Chains A and B, each alone.
Chain A
Amino acid sequence: MLSKPAICGAMSTARAISRICRPRYPCAVGLVLVCAVLGTDAGLAQALSGPPGLPGPPPGAGTGFPLPPAPAQAPPPEPSGSPASIPLAGSGPGLLSGSAGLSGRRLKLPIACQARGHASLSLPGVATGTVAQTTYKCAGGRSTVSFSLGKRVAGQITRSGSVLAGVTFKQGAATEHLSVMVGPSPAAPQFWTSVFGLQCGSPGSNQADLLAPNFTVTPATTIDVRPWVAWYTAATGWQWLGTEGPNASRWYRWTGTTNGVAEWQTPSGTVNPWTWGPISVSPGMGVYVIAVLEAVYWYSHPVYVSRYAHSYPSSPYCAYS
Chain B
Amino acid sequence: MLAAMPAPAWGSIGPALPGPPPTAGQGFPTAPPPGVIPPAGPVGPTASLPTKFAGAGLRSGFVSVRGRELTLAIACKHGGQVSLTASGLGSGVLARGGYACRGGQGSADLSLRPRAARRLAALKSTVARVAFGGGSAERFSITLGARPTIPSDWSNGGMECSFLGPNEPYLVAPNFTVTPPAIIDVRPWVAFYTPANGWRWLGTTGINSSSWYRWSATSAGVATWLTPAGALNPWTWAPIDVRAGQQTYAIAAFEVIYWYAHLRYVWAYAPSHLNATAAGTYCTFR
Contact = CB atoms under 8 A, between A and B. Distances in A.
Interface of A: 1-2, 63, 65, 67-74, 124-125, 128, 219-222, 255-257, 262-263, 298, 300-304
Contacts of B156: 1-2, 300-301
B229 A67 contact: no
Contacts of A67: 164, 170, 236, 238-239
Nearest to A304: B276
A304 B162 CA distance: 13
B233 A68 contact: yes
Interface residues of B, number: 39
Given A222-B233, A300-B156, A300-B157, A68 B238 contact: yes
Given A300-B157, A300-B174, A301-B156, 8 more contacts: A67-B170, A70-B233, A71-B40, A72-B39, A128-B166, A255-B227, A257-B231, A304-B276
Contacts of B42: 70
B231 A71 contact: no
B234 A302 contact: no
A301 B286 CA distance: 23
A141 to B, nearest CB: 36
16 contacts: A63-B165, A67-B170, A68-B234, A71-B40, A71-B224, A71-B225, A71-B233, A72-B40, A73-B227, A128-B166, A220-B229, A220-B230, A221-B231, A255-B231, A298-B231, A304-B276
Contacts of A298: 231, 233
Contact of B234 (A124, A257, A300, A303): A300
Interface in B269-286: 273, 275-276, 286
A304 B275 CA distance: 11
Contact of B172 (A1, A63, A73, A300): A300
Residue among B39, B172, B229, B276 with most chain A CB within 10 A: B229
Contact of A72 (B172, B227, B275): B227
Contacts, number: 93
Nearest to B177: A1
A304 B163 CA distance: 9
Instruction: Sort A-B residue pairs by CB-CB distance and give the 4 closest, nearest first.
Output: A262-B229, A72-B40, A255-B229, A71-B40
Contact of B160 (A70, A128, A302): A302
B232 interface: yes
Contacts of B222: 71
B175 A2 contact: yes
A65 B166 CA distance: 12
Q: Which of B170, B228, B234 has the most CB of A within 10 A?
A: B234
Interface in B138-176: 155-157, 160, 163-166, 170, 172, 174-175
A256 B155 CA distance: 24
A220 B276 contact: no
B229 A71 contact: no
B224 A255 contact: no
Interface string B72-105: 0000000000000000000000000000000000
A84 B158 CA distance: 41
A4 B41 CA distance: 27
B172 A68 contact: yes
B229 A74 contact: yes
Given A1-B156, A255-B227, A71 B41 contact: yes
Nearest to B42: A70
A120 to B, nearest CB: 17
Contact of A255 (B41, B163, B230, B276): B230
A71 B234 contact: yes
Nearest to A255: B229
Contacts of A69: 227, 231, 233
B226 interface: yes
Contacts of B235: 71
A74 B233 CA distance: 9
B230 A68 contact: no
B123 interface: no
A74 B230 contact: no
B43 interface: yes
A303 B224 CA distance: 23
B155 A1 contact: yes
Contacts of B41: 71
A74 B155 contact: no
B162 to A, nearest CB: 9
Given A220-B232, A300-B234, A74 B227 contact: yes
B229 A68 contact: no
A73 B230 contact: no
B164 A72 contact: no
Contacts of B228: 74
Interface in B234-286: 234-236, 238-239, 273, 275-276, 286
Contacts of B224: 71-72
Contacts of B238: 67-68
Nearest to B237: A68
Contacts of A302: 160, 163
Contacts of B273: 301
Contacts of A257: 229-231
Contact of A301 (B40, B43, B160, B225): B160
Contacts of A65: 163-164
A257 B273 CA distance: 25
A304 B276 CA distance: 8
A70 B225 CA distance: 8
